[in-house]
Amino acid sequence: MAKLTSFSKLLIAILVVTAIFFGGKYLFNNTEFGKKMIEESAQNGTANDTKSDSDPNTINVGVVTWGGYAGGQYFNEGFKANTQSRFYKDYGFKVDFKVLDDFEASRAAFKNGDVQLLWCTVDALPTEMAALQAFDPRIVFQADWSRGGDAVVVRRGITSVADLKGKKVAVAELTPSHSFLIWLLEAAGMKPSDIEIVKQPSAIDAAQVFKSQQVDAAVVWSPDDELCVQAVPGSKILESTRSASNIIADAFIAKGSWLEKNRDKANKLYEGWMKGAAEINASDANKRKAAKILSENFDGVSEDAALKSIENVRLCTHGDNLNFFGMNPDYKGVTGENLYNRMSNTYQQLGYIEGKVPSWRLAINTEAIKAATALTSATGQAAEGQKQFSVASESARTKDAIATKRVSISFRSGEFQLDENAKYIIDKEFVDIAKAFSNARIRIEGNRYLQYA
């Protein structure tokens, strides 16, 4: 009877292990059963809060090329985890900022635990809550309001939103750009169906399409708005979030399970971030320092461009966050709940959301904001004040409007006072728009129509 030698036994063992390895690889990559197992593993939130091979004392934060996150990056003394960071010196942990401009890659990084905090905008977040549901995403804090960072550029001959009717408009769907466009159309009494939307993967792509003159208008990010105007003769910026000041709110989400395990770190991250934002808001020198940090970490962005990107946002303070999360009963402006609920309804009506969107209460975690009591009276942490307008000049009174919305109300014969129904109509059709465009002048005009039987 033939006997196996030691070498033969080793060879057979190697063949068996190889067969198991490649068989398993084929199973996971090429069968529905395998793909389902991978997906279920990725959706195990508690297992993927932090990568097992990462530093447990480092918080990884996913961001995009945007000036609104400068508060945290400035306080961190850069993007990379380092011992010079004030997060490390003051609180004992490190922070690492990862630039994830690709939307799908950024969401994959969040699901896989490569980042613990991830950028989002509250206006567009409802459209992706279903895809993130297994990970229990919670909005932790607001980083900024866009104040000129998003803009609509138009070709020659377009002078108002009404002129966009029937025109081709390039926009990245289900992004802040899309939200801005929807609000702008509504301010003119229009709907998305009134224009021809040319879908783009990103705002950067929208800018390229406009430069090549394939569309009549595009929703872009700064500094692409100015670059578009330079590239297309006769074009201009029709409107930006400098006037539409309370539409795009940048925030950060984290998994509920990670927040439960890392309450102290999350609280201190927020506190340090707010300190950094306040220091930048208060000093041109600090703003320049922050711009230098951004320029060094954003590909192809000069220090001047980085500075402008910071100036095109409102870096939010602790007071701003108290307002945004409804913790200041005296605040009458746009809250996160207002924005989240309105855009949830809007995107559902447009057919972009299927199923139920989690309520605002289930979408947030305000523990860090509540814990930051020391910031309430700290220097520079007050909320942004309401814009003060001077008396309108004659030219301002007669200037052509960017957008006009017509609302009809009725008066009883011989009276001029609004009844309760008229007040309801005005509140429903106009108040939210007035709040969203709080940096824009609003002119109210009336016409009297006589009807004869």
**b/e 307-316 (16+ beta carbons within 10 angstroms → b):** bbbbebbbbb
What is the topology classification, in CATH, of domain 58-145+248-375?
A: D-Maltodextrin-Binding Protein; domain 2 (3.40.190)
Q: Is 118 left (phi over 0), alpha (psi -120 to 50) or beta?
A: beta
Instruction: Round to whole Å and give the CA distance between 384 and 377.
Output: 14
CATH class of 150-240: alpha beta
Q: Which residue has the tokens 């004659």?
A: 394
CB atoms within 10 A of CB 295: 17
Rounding to the nearest 10 degrees, give the CA dihedral for residues 108, 133, 339, 348.
100
Can you give the residue ranges of every domain in the chain? 58-145+248-375, 150-240
Chain centroid to CA 65: 12
Give the pLDDT confidence score for residue 419 in this predicted structure. 73
Mean pLDDT of residues grouped by 10 in the chain (453 residues)?
A: 55 58 55 51 46 76 95 98 98 97 93 97 94 96 94 95 96 92 91 95 92 97 87 95 88 98 98 98 98 95 92 96 96 93 93 90 98 96 77 70 65 71 65 62 60 41
State the pTM of this model: 0.79
Please state whether beta strands 217-221 and 150-154 pair in parallel, antiparallel, or not at all (unpaired): antiparallel
Q: Which of 91, 133, 139, 134 is nearest to 119 (CA)?
A: 139
Give the pLDDT confidence score for residue 49 in this predicted structure. 56
Peptide bond preceding 126: is omega within 30 degrees of 0, i.e. cis? no
Instruction: Round to whole Å and give the CA distance between 162 and 151.
Output: 16
DSSP conformation class of 437 = T
Instruction: Round to whole Å and give the CA distance between 431 and 208.
Output: 35
Give the pLDDT confidence score for residue 206 in this predicted structure. 95
The single-letter code of the amino acid at 411 is: F
**440 in Cβ contact with 396 (< 8 Å):** no
Q: Which residue spans within 8-93 are E strands per DSSP?
A: 58-63
Give the pLDDT confidence score for residue 44 in this predicted structure. 47
DSSP conformation class of 357 = P
Give the pLDDT confidence score for residue 348 in this predicted structure. 93
Give the pLDDT confidence score for residue 420 in this predicted structure. 73
Beta bridge partners of 152: 219, 239
**Both ends of the chain: CA-CA distance in Å?**
116
